[in-house]
Homo-oligomer: A and B are copies of this chain.
């Protein structure tokens, strides 16, 4: 990290509670010596967690928030009555420019609703997207939207391409990331109107985008492109289907290795190798949905994650703030606006 920045953290989100968040902060404080943290939550719960970590409080400021958003709370309700929650306060600090980025492991719908309400959507953009980092054969790709929207028109898909590309340059360090639109076939004639119009707009755009065209579901894991653009419905289903499949295959592997004596012996010899595989597939390593398209950066950690996973969400938040992802998106959309968007809108 090059410069000093402040991360605003919701301590009360997540299934495991604030203990996990504080343990993650302990790692993050070491990893990012120039970062400061605002920790929002119930101070009666939080303060005792720092009893043996008093030195951390030089870099972590506890801000009391008496309430918390529950996993089952409806977004509409928390928007009206959630001003005293740790989640609201975490985002509020970004709005007030006290922090560059907010991180929460809480209720995704509530976090998105509060983020949109407080930070606002970038000018000209109709909806934000949630981006995910996806392990591939070649490394990592960005997939978006994985769940902010239940449907997306051509203009939105074009916006997702711009946002995903800016994110890939910032966080993956790629100079000219390739972008593909997820579809049911790679030929131009395939798919519904939204993907066809979006592809047409991107082909004609004068952007620093390497537009590859359509990709299919198996291209995600192959890493065929650096950025995979899709509507939030298909993207969410693809993400969860991939998670389920990976778990299934590992479960089959475990069963295969314990069924016979030879298998068990082989498993013992290969234990190190299998641990490396487990690490590679560990969802904690790429934990965090990134909210893109807002006047501020918000990272959503998995609700069920542990300290390692939450620390990795904090890493991603700091990388994004450091790389100025929002400024890049704004600049890229400025290039795009006069040329490609009207074409997509007309179709």
Contacts and interface: CB of A to CB of B under 8 A. Distances in A.
A191 B260 contact: no
A262 interface: yes
A273 B257 CA distance: 6
A48 to B, nearest CB: 35
Interface in A199-253: 216-222, 230, 232-234, 236-253
A136 interface: yes
Contact of A269 (B244, B262, B274): B262
Interface stretch (A50-58, A276-284, A339-347): A276-284
Given A236-B184, A250-B249, A273 B244 contact: no
A296 interface: no
A267 interface: yes
A277 B240 CA distance: 22
A21 B270 CA distance: 40
Given A266-B269, A269-B269, 16 more contacts: A137-B251, A147-B184, A150-B191, A151-B192, A184-B232, A184-B237, A217-B237, A221-B248, A245-B245, A249-B250, A249-B281, A253-B277, A257-B270, A262-B271, A265-B266, A266-B266
A232 B251 CA distance: 28
- The quantity of this chain's copies bound in the complex is 2
A277 B150 CA distance: 36
Interface of A: 74, 135-137, 147, 150-151, 182, 184, 189-192, 216-222, 230, 232-234, 236-253, 256-257, 259-260, 262-263, 265-274, 276-277, 280-281
A220 B244 contact: yes
10 contacts: A135-B248, A150-B191, A218-B243, A220-B244, A238-B241, A241-B245, A260-B272, A263-B273, A265-B270, A266-B271
Nearest to A222: B244
B248 A136 contact: yes
Contacts of A240: 216-218
Contacts of A222: 244, 248
Contact of A256 (B248, B252, B274): B274
Contacts of A260: 272-273
